[in-house]
Copies of this chain bind each other. A is one copy, B any other.
Amino acid sequence: MNKNSSQSIENLDGLPPFLSAYREILDVSLREAVSEKLSYTATPIEYHMGWSNSSGNPIKSTKGKRLRPALMLFACLSLGGKIESVLPPAVAIELVHNFSLIHDDIEDRDIQRHNRPTVWSIWGEPKAIHLGSILYDLAFLQMKKARGIPPERLIYASSRLSESSFEMMKGQYLDISFEGRAKASTKEYIEMIAFKTASLIACALDIGVFIGTGNCKLAASLALIGRQIGQLFQIRDDILGIWGDVQSTGKPVGADIRRKKKSFPIVYAMEVANKSSAVNLNYIFSKPLLDDRDVEKVLDTLDNTNAKSQSEATTQQIASRILKQVERAKLPSNFRIEIKELVDFLVTRAR
């Protein structure tokens, strides 16, 4: 086995090894949480989680990074916390994330996610609304399973999870109104994704640190770092949503343009383009459906404004800021090294 193929196996879930190491224990615990309560509606949940096809037959799962729970486990265990204290909230945060995916797909009328039909497009909306809400509830049901920590840490974790879910939902709501606006700045966009995408990532580090140490100052500084990791993650996602390799991302070139997603590169181009290009972009994004020519025109404007390299430069700037803050935080050296590894990975990832 050459180095490349071994790497591609290690990175099946698209995370650096220090995080993907948690994948198996997370999947076992997630399956336990689901099977304990959701036997009456197992197939759509197992399908959504990437464990089965739509008939309920097991598949070899390669879906889902489990980024949030892996970050929580990493933060807690690196700082001396115990697995039995952090595994339940880690399962909880992944369930909250998946609740939001199921409902977002309904709200955005998306019929595909990771190259597979979405839950609502197979089982219908009423059932999909139910499945999303029940996953959300299941998340909070996990919390009381945490062992070996004072009750105050559990209350802190539950409360942070509710607050971060609130921010995430509010961000999703702002995103919808964002899509409808003719003018929006990259500054506003970065603020919006601080809620929509970064809330749960910040929450993962926050809860992980607090469960592991009970140190709320350290938890808050890691939450701040997590917030920026989330923003970086989203902008890289936006780049891949337009220029990513179809084999790696499962999306054709320009996929997010066709979906009329006003992602970072688009907002950037609208901000810096000359007036006629900006008007034209807005006109295209106001059409009910985009054809190949529309997508090409948008790609041309992105080229002319250097939107790709500018988006990449933005992720680089966020990355440098994160690394400075990591240096300053009172963290063990292996913790610092691994956060750096994650940041390097997030800036360059192709899937």
User: Chain A: residues with CB nearer than 8 A to chain B?
Assistant: 37, 40-41, 99, 103, 106-108, 125-126, 129-130, 132-134, 136-138, 140-141, 143-144, 151-152, 154-155, 158-159, 162-163, 165-166, 169-170, 172-174, 176
Contact = CB atoms under 8 A, between A and B. Distances in A.
A75 to B, nearest CB: 22
B162 A141 contact: yes
Given A40-B170, A134-B173, A143-B158, 7 more contacts: A103-B133, A106-B126, A107-B129, A108-B126, A140-B162, A144-B155, A154-B155
A141 B166 contact: yes
**Number of identical monomers bound together in the oligomeric complex:** 2
Contacts of A137: 162, 165-166, 169
B107 A169 contact: no
A136 B133 contact: yes
Contact of A169 (B133, B140, B152, B165): B133
Contact of A136 (B40, B106, B136): B136
Nearest to A37: B166
Given A162-B137, A163-B141, A169 B130 contact: yes
A108 B20 CA distance: 41
